[in-house]
Amino acid sequence: MTATTPAASRAAEILSRPIALNGLTVPNRIAMAPMTRMFSPGGVPGEDVLSYYARRAAAGVGLIVTEGTYVGHESAGSSDRVPRFHGEEQLAGWAKVADAVHAAGGTIVPQLWHIGMVRKQGEPPFADAPAVGPSGIRVDGTEGAGKAMTQRDLDDVIGAFAEAAAAAERIGFDGVELHGAHGYLLDQFLWAGTNRRTDAYGGDAVARTKFAAEIVAAVRETVSPDFPVIFRYSQWKQEAYRARLAQTPQELEAILAPLTAAGVDAFHASTRRYWLPEFDGSDLNLAGWTKKLTGRPTITVGSVGLDGDFLRAFAGEGAAVGSIDNLLERLERDEFDLVAVGRALLQDPQWAAKVLGNRFEELQPYDAAALKTLS
Ligand SMILES: Cc1cc2nc3c(=O)[nH]c(=O)nc-3n(C[C@H](O)[C@H](O)[C@H](O)COP(=O)(O)O)c2cc1C
């Protein structure tokens, strides 16, 4: 048994290179993946939420992407415990979170979110708002469970994203991430399974991208030119893990090109296992393809630190597919630029410090009990 595998012995060196996302310099390559925690009663992130993020920044996470936070439209969400990115009290809470993360040496962007047709039953104050989406169709195929958005609805939601982005810059955040993944509103437009519109927002892949691209353009116009706009997207959807937006690189390019032209500075390509090739004939994962097709920096994600192989490789037992070696080698050859860590970082606030400090033997295996607290 060797002491550590080759790339793992250089983990700190490979991960510690700063990276520019438009005008923002992220101090290293470790990002916190956005994770809904529902610890913000009234939509207000409080002291516990603040210390949850600040603790991870202090331990070396270079970029925090906050949990999804609702934009200011009545239909954006359905839980009163999910933080909102509008309203005086809510934004005051967020401003303190951003300050605390900066004081700890990190950078932070809010993930701006509209759930669309995922809404089932709302809690007050959202109880009466309708579920809205491109065609009133849920990701699971249920029809007639909500309302197809009118042009007025589309304009209002575009405005709500732009206002939230302006607020993010005003209260001291370092950029924004637009949630275009996992079967929520923007993804419902991107995916043919939920978008059956016959107007300019439906049809081929480019038409289905129009709504998201208009949101990007509106955000871009509202914030400073150097303020980074990150777009998160995925092939998979909640309730449809096998769904795909694109079967080929050409189809993917048709979706990514209008988003890039509208002003996306970086893409966050959400996959469930980062080591899986996205298309036949190449090892590139979704983030790798996204970088190749758009020329923009990308963030990869998916089971980093969760696979048993990962922990074993840290302990020097060889490089398996899901190992840190595989991840670091891909990062070093610039297949992608940042690595987002979700559950492993939720489990262990010190995850980044341990990895950057070569303390691999101290990494904790993920236990779903971690979901219950904001430790
Ligand atoms: C509890 C939990 C909440 C999540 N909430 C969000 C969210 O608000 N927005 C989002 O884009 N992804 C969300 N995700 C997905 C994560 O960002 C990430 O892509 C996923 O967990 C895979 O990364 P991991 O294997 O490192 O955990 C969530 C995941 C978990 C476990």
**Percent of the chain's residues with pLDDT above 90:** 86
Phi, psi of 175 (to 5 degrees): 165, -170
DSSP for 163-210, written as a single string = HHHHHHHHTT-S-EEEEEEETSHHHHHH-TTT----STTSSSHHHHHH
Six-digit token string for 122: 């709302």
Joined tokens for residue 224? 């400073």
Helices 47-58, 88-103: inter-axial angle, 10-degree rounding:
20
Residue nearest to atom 30 of ligand 1 (CA): 35
Of the two residues 48 and 9, the one the predictor is more confident about is 48
- Beta strand 176-182 with 147-148 is unpaired
Task: Please report, rounded to a whole number, the percentage of residues in the chain having pLDDT higher than 70.
Answer: 94
> What's the CA gap between 231 and 170, in Å, rounded?
20
Question: What token pair was written down for 15?
Answer: 């991960």
List the residue whose alpha carbon is closest to atom 10 of ligand 1.
34
Cα 137 to Cα 12, 105, 204: the distances in Å are 46, 43, 18
The answer to whether 246 and 235 are in contact (CB under 8 A) is yes
Active site residues: 184
pLDDT digits (tens, 9 = 90+) for 72-122: 999 999 999 999 999 999 999 999 999 999 999 999 999 999 999 999 889
Instruction: Give me the count of residues in the chain.
Output: 375
Q: What is the mean pLDDT of residues 194-210?
A: 98
Per-residue model confidence as pLDDT tens digits over 317-334 = 444 445 688 899 999 999
Residues flanking ligand 1, CB < 6 Å: 33-36, 67-68, 111, 179, 181-182, 232, 270, 301-304, 306, 341-344, 371
CA 203 remoteness from chain centre: 26
| Cβ within 8 Å of residue 97, ≥6 positions away | 45, 49, 50, 53, 54, 66, 108
Per-residue confidence (pLDDT) for residue 366, from 0 to 100: 86
Alpha carbon of 152 to ligand 1 centroid (Å): 31
Q: What is the pLDDT of residue 5?
A: 60
Q: Which of 36, 78, 114, 234 to mutate to test the pocket of ligand 1 (most atoms within 8 A of CB)?
A: 36
Cα–ligand 1 centroid distance for 151 (angstroms): 31
Question: 108 pairs with which residues across the strands?
Answer: 64
User: Contacts for 260-263 with beta carbons within 8 Å, 24 or more apart?
Assistant: 260/294, 260/295, 260/296, 261/213, 262/213, 262/214, 262/216, 262/217, 262/220, 263/216, 263/217, 263/219, 263/220, 263/229
The pTM of the full predicted model, rounded to 2 decimals, is: 0.96
